[in-house]
Amino acid sequence: MFRPGYHLHPPKGWMNDPNGFIFFKGEYHIFYQHYPYEPRWSHMHWGHFKSKDLVSWKSLPIALSPDIDTGEHGCFSGSAITYEDNLALLYTGHHEPKDGAVYQNQKLAISQDGITFIKYNNNPVIAKPPADSTYHFRDPKVWKEEDTYYMVLGNQSKNHQGRVLLYQSKNLKEWQYLGVLATSKKLGYMWECPDFFKLGDRYVLTFSPMGLLSQEDRFANLYQTGYLIGDYNSHSHQFYFGEFEELDFGHDFYALQTMEDPKGRRIAFGWLDMWEEDFVESKEGWAGMLSLPRELYINEKGRLCQRPVAELINLRGEIVIDKDIPWGEKYLYKTKKHLLEIEMQTTLSQGFGFKISGQTHTLTFSYHPTQKKLIWTRNDEKRVAYYPLKPSIRLQLYIDCSSVELFVDEGAITFSSRFYEATDLTFECFSMKKIKIYELKATIH
Ligand code: FRU
DSSP secondary structure letters along 248-309 = --SS--EEEEEEE-TTS-EEEEEES--TT---GGGGGTEE--B---EEEEE-TTS-EEEEE-
User: Which residue, 256, 264, 293, is CA-closest to 198?
Assistant: 264
User: Which residue, 65, 70, 57, is CA-closest to 89?
Assistant: 65
pLDDT at 391: 83
Residues with CB under 6 A from ligand 1: 16-17, 33, 44, 76-77, 92, 138-139, 192-193, 254-255
How far, in Å, CA of 113 to CA of 25, rounded? 9
pLDDT band at 322 (very low <50, low <70, confident <90, very high): very high
User: Which residue, 336, 268, 352, is CA-closest to 54?
Assistant: 268
The pick from 16, 45, 273 for probing ligand 1's pocket by mutation, whose C-beta has the most ligand atoms within 8 angstroms, reads: 16
* Cα distances (angstroms) measured from residue 434 to each of 257, 328, 382, 396: 34, 12, 26, 12
Cβ distance 272 to 253 under 8 Å? yes
CA of 74 to the centre of ligand 1 (A): 10
Q: Is the pLDDT of residue 347 over 90?
A: no
Cβ distance 31 to 80 under 8 Å? yes
Q: Is the pLDDT of residue 364 over 80?
A: yes
How far, in Å, CA of 404 to CA of 173, rounded? 41
pLDDT at 140: 98
User: Which residue, 342, 412, 416, is CA-closest to 372?
Assistant: 412
How far, in Å, CA of 300 to CA of 213, rounded? 29
Question: Percent of the chain having pLDDT more than 90?
Answer: 95
CA of 350 to the centre of ligand 1 (A): 43
17 is catalytic: yes
User: Which residue, 54, 78, 62, is CA-closest to 13?
Assistant: 62
Beta bridge partners of 138: 154
Q: Is the pLDDT of residue 75 over 80?
A: yes
127 phi and psi angles, rounded to 5 deg? -80, -35
The pick from 103, 138, 269 for probing ligand 1's pocket by mutation, whose C-beta has the most ligand atoms within 8 angstroms, reads: 138
- Pick the atom of ligand 1 nearest to 41's CA: 12
The pick from 104, 193, 221 for probing ligand 1's pocket by mutation, whose C-beta has the most ligand atoms within 8 angstroms, reads: 193
Mean pLDDT of 223-239: 96
How far, in Å, CA of 241 to CA of 77, rounded? 25
265 phi and psi angles, rounded to 5 deg? -85, 145
- Pick the atom of ligand 1 nearest to 92's CA: 10
Cβ distance 293 to 18 under 8 Å? no
CA of 274 to the centre of ligand 1 (A): 11
Burial per residue of 299-324, b for 16 or more beta-carbon CB atoms within 10 angstroms, e otherwise: eeeebbbbbbbebbeebeeeeeeeee
Q: Is the pLDDT of residue 374 over 80?
A: yes
Q: Is the pLDDT of residue 172 over 90?
A: yes
* Residue 444 identity: I
- Pick the atom of ligand 1 nearest to 275's CA: 7
End-to-end CA distance of the chain: 16
Mean pLDDT of 239-261: 98
Give the pLDDT confidence of 149-165 residue by residue, as tens digits. Answer: 999 999 999 999 999 99
* Cα distances (angstroms) measured from residue 152 to each of 135, 142, 176, 177: 16, 7, 12, 10
CA of 44 to the centre of ligand 1 (A): 9
| Residue 331 burial class via C-beta count within 10 angstroms: exposed 0-12, middle 13-18, buried 19 and up | middle
Write down the mean pLDDT value for the chain. 96
* Cα distances (angstroms) measured from residue 88 to each of 20, 22, 347: 9, 10, 49
pLDDT at 350: 73
Cβ distance 342 to 437 under 8 Å? yes
pLDDT at 444: 86
376 or 328, higher pLDDT:
376
Q: Which region, left, alpha or beta, applies to residue 443 given φ > 0 means left and ψ of -120 to 50 means alpha?
A: alpha
What radius of gyration, in Å, describes the C-alpha atoms of the chain? 22
Question: Percent of the chain having pLDDT more than 70?
Answer: 100
Strand 316-324, strand 432-440: pairing: antiparallel
pLDDT band at 389 (very low <50, low <70, confident <90, very high): confident
How far, in Å, CA of 10 to CA of 7, rounded? 10
CA of 290 to the centre of ligand 1 (A): 14
User: Which segment of 172-176, 349-353, 397-401 scores lowest on mean pLDDT?
Assistant: 349-353
pLDDT at 257: 98
Q: Is the pLDDT of residue 328 over 90?
A: no
The reported pTM is 0.97
- Pick the atom of ligand 1 nearest to 223's CA: 7
Q: Which region, left, alpha or beta, applies to residue 359 given φ > 0 means left and ψ of -120 to 50 means alpha?
A: alpha
Mean pLDDT of 109-119: 98
CA of 26 to the centre of ligand 1 (A): 28
Mean pLDDT of 425-433: 95
Q: Is the pLDDT of residue 349 over 90?
A: no
Contacts of 324 (CB under 8 A, 6+ apart): 433, 434
- Pick the atom of ligand 1 nearest to 154's CA: 9
Q: Is the pLDDT of residue 445 over 90?
A: no
